[in-house]
Amino acid sequence: MSSTPDLELLGADPGPDTLGGADVLVVGVRPGSDGADPVVAGPTSVLGDLAGELPGLVTLLGGSGKAEETTRVPTRGAIGAPLVLAVGLGQEPGDDAAAGETPDLAEQVRRAAGAAARALHGKAAHVVTTLAALDLAAAIEGTLLGDYAFTEYKKTPDTAPTELTRVGLVGDGDDAAVTRAATVARWVAAARDLVNTPPNDLYPDAFARRAQGLAESVGVTVEILDETQLAEGGFGGILGVGGGSSRPPRLVRLSYSPANPRTKVALVGKGITFDTGGISIKPAANMDHMTSDMSGAAGVVAATCLAADLGLDVEVVATVPMAENMPSGTAYRPGDVLAMYGGKTVEVLNTDAEGRLVLGDAIARACEDSPDYLLETSTLTGAQLVALGSRTPGVMGTDAFRDRVAAHAVAAGDGGWAMPLPDELRADLDSRVADLANVTNHRFGGMLVGGIFLREFVADGVPWVHLDIAGPAFNTGGPHGYTPKGGTGVPVRTIAAVLDDVARHG
């Protein structure tokens, strides 16, 4: 994982003498009413005599305060920093923020801090931000995640070598709050790194070993099952999907258990390290995006490590299937019947609906641990993007737990929308030769059908959620807010928020 810059609390209302040689002072602004100059949001004392002039200067330089807009304002020696970066927060959040129509204040701050960090990436080593006075944790998360860059495979990085090494935070808080927010951002970045690593270097065994190294660094216990052990254990879904690759599948089990946990949560994440579609092969266009088909697994690994790093009072057992879905003479075929872990049989009608097969095995195994809750996440269906777009995960499962998770997803900034699992769709998964088929014979409700299939493997009485992150886990467009192109780290923050909630309230 990349190093975290030094984070320093400067107080709620410091003067300009506290800038201490900063390269840039980041200030949030909102649009003025009726076309007036933008309005500075948060404390202005750090601006000194520049406070009254800044709104007019932002307007003069073309700024308006709209969300994520950045305007560079030279200070000409008026304060200790040579540059003010005014970043737009957008309009004040209103009553519609709770419904997701307008981001709430925390998400506005995250996005503004991320936009500022992206604008300054490679150009500033020491930044002071007044956004922390609006929401300390959000400002830290947005700054650190916006500054993220994956350059491991670049001989010459796109940006200048300047690294962000120090961030001054204007606002109230304590060192514990700062450390917690930075820890969350660091593990989101770890998930991004895993997703962005190309599949020739992150195949199942390599992924398993990477997960082991991350987990052991924070005291999480690790068990890795190889292909022989998977066969002995009856994991027919994982073996079926992974059988076409020369690089055999793995099942990784991570266990974090504090001294007196309040409750126990099972996490499951889809780890298809590359998905060609198998015999039902995908079109060539954009197949490179399938390096991200292990985003659910990356999120679960990172979230488990984050829970341990934060010392959350909840027992977490993660079950993470890892396989590469390839076409070959040993690949599984449409028409095959797989004997899944736990005894159910599945007729394969489409080998490109492989994620639900490895997850069926993993969910059945996870339920044997008798969890109080089960949360599974996966880049499961293209239908998620059709239904909800590229930034909003679909949340399905047990009604009460589903709604609880969806609320945390929105509050955390990952986004999420509760979706139904209509009973009438179950009959469309009936098979003529097996207990069920892996797809229906139509394209309607595809995201929901994926959830209904997974529900077949959840033990009775276990509150569970399926989080479909097919679009949100991997940004194929341009960067925005604190979200880079490529791996986004969704849904690490959602899972962490859920774990923290159940640790506190059961």
- pLDDT beyond 90 at 140: yes
**Mind listing the pLDDT tens digit for each residue in 326-361?**
999 999 999 999 999 999 999 999 999 999 999 999
Q: And the tokens for 306?
A: 């984050």
Going by pLDDT thresholds of 50, 70 and 90, the confidence category of residue 132 is: very high
Angle at 240 between CA 238 and CA 243, to 5 degrees: 100
Residues of the chain with CATH 3.40.630.10: 193-505
Crossing angle of helices 175-196 and 204-216, in 10° steps, is 170
- pLDDT beyond 80 at 160: no
Q: Which CATH class is domain 6-173?
A: alpha beta
Give the list of residues 6+ apart from residue 11 with CB closer than 8 angstroms, or none.
18, 170, 171
Residue 35: what pLDDT?
84
54 neighbors 73 (Cβ within 8 angstroms): yes
Residues of the chain with CATH 3.40.220.10: 6-173
Residue 102: what pLDDT?
76
Give the C-alpha separation, 268 to 287, whole Å: 24
Say whether 282 is catalytic. yes
- pLDDT beyond 90 at 119: yes
Mean pLDDT of 222-249: 98
**Mind listing the pLDDT tens digit for each residue in 360-390?**
999 999 999 999 999 999 999 999 999 999 9
DSSP string, 100-150: TSS--HHHHHHHHHHHHHHHHTTT-SEEEEGGGGT-HHHHHHHHHHHT---
Residue 96: what pLDDT?
62
- Look at 1-15, 137-151, 257-271, 480-494 and tell me which has the smallest mean pLDDT: 1-15
- pLDDT beyond 70 at 161: no
- pLDDT beyond 80 at 299: yes
Going by pLDDT thresholds of 50, 70 and 90, the confidence category of residue 162 is: confident
Q: Which CATH class is domain 193-505?
A: alpha beta
- pLDDT beyond 80 at 178: yes
- pLDDT beyond 60 at 220: yes
- Strand-pair partners of 7: 167
Instruction: Report strand pairing: 271-275 vs 315-325.
Output: parallel
Going by pLDDT thresholds of 50, 70 and 90, the confidence category of residue 134 is: very high
Instruction: Please indicate whether residue 156 or residue 141 has the higher confidence score (pLDDT).
Output: 141
User: Pick the catalytic residue: 186, 210, 250, 356?
Assistant: 356
Going by pLDDT thresholds of 50, 70 and 90, the confidence category of residue 99 is: low
**Mind listing the pLDDT tens digit for each residue in 397-423?**
999 999 999 999 999 999 999 999 999
Residue 261: what pLDDT?
95
Give the C-alpha separation, 488 to 153, whole Å: 18
Give the C-alpha separation, 185 to 251, whole Å: 27
434 neighbors 340 (Cβ within 8 angstroms): no
Residue 20: what pLDDT?
82
Residue 400: what pLDDT?
98
Give the C-alpha separation, 419 to 451, whole Å: 10
**How many CB atoms neighbour CB 21 within 10 A?**
10
User: Pick the catalytic residue: 282, 391, 426, 485?
Assistant: 282
Angle at 495 between CA 147 and CA 499, to 5 degrees: 125
Residue 100: what pLDDT?
57
Going by pLDDT thresholds of 50, 70 and 90, the confidence category of residue 32 is: very high
Going by pLDDT thresholds of 50, 70 and 90, the confidence category of residue 34 is: confident
Q: What is the pTM of this model?
A: 0.96
Instruction: Report strand pairing: 337-339 vs 345-347.
Output: antiparallel
- The alpha carbons of the chain give a radius of gyration, in whole angstroms, of 24
